[in-house]
Amino acid sequence: MQEAVSVLEGLDALLGGIVDAFDPKTMSMIITSDHGNIEDLSTKSHTRNPVPMLAYGESHLQFSEKVNKITDVAKAIVNALS
């Protein structure tokens, strides 16, 4: 678990740097994963656990209101770009 915490702390620092340089009025960002298992490190395979999605910036509502599962992400990105 210590390694998982270290990875998450690094991710937190990375995202903090991105957000500091980010203009949410003109930019959009979406971050997600195809599976989650950091909460259960006893398995090395893909799990069916829900994964977080971070939507930030101008189009965040297009993502947060339309994405309910991983298969919705690509369509939401295409819609945000059109």
pLDDT tens-digit series, residues 28-42? 898 888 776 777 778
Amino acid 36: pLDDT: 67
- pTM for the full model? 0.69
Contact 28/58 with Cβ under 8 angstroms? yes
Q: CA-CA distance, 51 to 34, in Å (whole number)?
A: 7
Contact 17/29 with Cβ under 8 angstroms? no
Coil, helix or strand at residue 72: helix
What's the start-to-end Cα distance of the chain, in Å?
Answer: 42
Contact 56/24 with Cβ under 8 angstroms? yes
pLDDT at 82 exceeding the cut of 70? yes
